[in-house]
Amino acid sequence: QEGRWKLENCIDFKDLNKAYPKDLYPLPEIDWKIESLMGFQYKCLLDAYKGYHQIQMTKKDEEKTAFHTEEGVFCYTKMPFGLKNAWVTYQRLVDSSFKEQIRVNLEAYMTDMMIKSRTEQDIIKYVKQTFFNLRRINMKLNPKKCSFGMEERKFLGYIVT
């Protein structure tokens, strides 16, 4: 209900993060993403729902996220926030899952995706293609943060027209 408190776990993975080397997979350049949207009249903004929490942990890594409460010992089965390489893992998943679309009719940065098209006909085709790929990897969207067919939209902190 609106106005009610929501409790969430906050686990300090500092020691676990020290034990793992940093994954050097690069994040895309935001400037390049913004520039690549210029000249496209139709845009659809998609936002992945609770991004990292959609990534299944491997069984051997689940126990490494164990924490205890008054109720017992638990571990994450989905990737939690706070792991050093979580963002890299997520971006790699997005890049590989949408590789046929990225820089063609889709730009993606972490949980934010923008479908782009010069024509109304094509935007429908590209939305279908994107939804097919989302279903294929079982990625859910946050409908409250998605918008379709917009000529002007805020993306990665910029107003894109």
CATH of the domain at 104: 3.30.70.270
Paired with 116 in beta bridges are: 43
Residue 123 domain-assigned? yes
Query: Distance between CA 119 and CA 151 in Å, rounded?
Result: 11
> Is residue 142 domain-resident?
yes
Counted domains in the chain: 1
The answer to whether residue 15 sits within a structural domain is no
Q: List the pLDDT tens digit at each of the 161 positions of the chain.
A: 567 776 677 889 999 999 999 999 998 898 888 888 888 889 999 999 988 889 999 999 999 999 998 899 999 999 998 999 999 999 999 999 999 999 999 999 999 999 999 999 999 999 999 999 999 999 999 999 999 876 677 888 888 87
For 34, the domain range is 25-52+87-160
Q: Is 154 a member of any domain?
A: yes
Q: Does residue 30 lie in a domain region?
A: yes
Task: Determine, yes or no, domain membership for 111.
Answer: yes
**Closest of 138, 125, 111, 129 to residue 45, by C-alpha:** 111
Give the integer Cα–Cα distance in Å for 91 and 146. 19
pTM value is: 0.84
Does some domain include residue 70?
no
**Quick one: pLDDT at residue 121?**
95
User: Which 3 state secondary structure label does DSSP give 69?
Assistant: strand
In a domain, 32, yes or no: yes
